[in-house]
Amino acid sequence: MTSDGIQAAVAKYFAATRAMDLNAWLGCFAENAVSYDPVGGPPLHGHAALHQFFLGIAGVFTKVGLTEDHVFINGNRAAVKFTGRGSGKNGREVVFEGIDVFEFNDQGTIQTFWGYWNPAAMLAKLNR
């Protein structure tokens, strides 16, 4: 992939999060993708596991999305510092940050994903 192709794929991923569009988000991943989100947790293998992850996160929000603050591309990988913003179903607002690392395959979809963020801290802020 070219740097422009990776930039476009990253933008598509983050746009899908902001739209809370499960199908568009899943379409960013290869069928056999592996996601370590968050890093340190058990890996998620394939679309079925990613689908459940998305529903779990989206399930506590009326609106949530990530914005790519800085994108760094090297080869078929990109590291992205992001800011997340969400409105919980309880009416509370939350802002959180992290770094996502993407490895893309030749088809332009995410083959491996690493999410460096702390969902427990984000949920704690949301439930204060």
**Structural domains in the chain (count):** 1
- Tell me which residue has tokens 């088809």: 107
Q: What mean pLDDT comes out for the span 92-114?
A: 97
The tens digit of pLDDT for each residue in 70-100 reads: 999 999 999 999 999 999 999 999 999 999 9
Q: Specify the pTM.
A: 0.95
**Tell me, what CATH number does 81's domain have?**
3.10.450.50
Task: Strands of the chain (E only): list them.
Answer: 29-36, 44-45, 61-74, 77-88, 93-104, 110-116
Helix (H, G, I), strand (E, B) or coil at 17: helix
Say which residues have a Cβ less than 8 Å from residue 56's Cβ, sequence separation at least 6.
none
Q: Find the mean pLDDT for residues 3-21.
A: 97
> pLDDT category, 30, cuts 50, 70, 90?
very high
Residues 43-72, mean pLDDT to the nearest whole number = 96
Question: Which pair of tokens denotes residue 105?
Answer: 């395959």
Domain that holds residue 77: 3-126
Whether the predicted pLDDT of 35 surpasses 80: yes
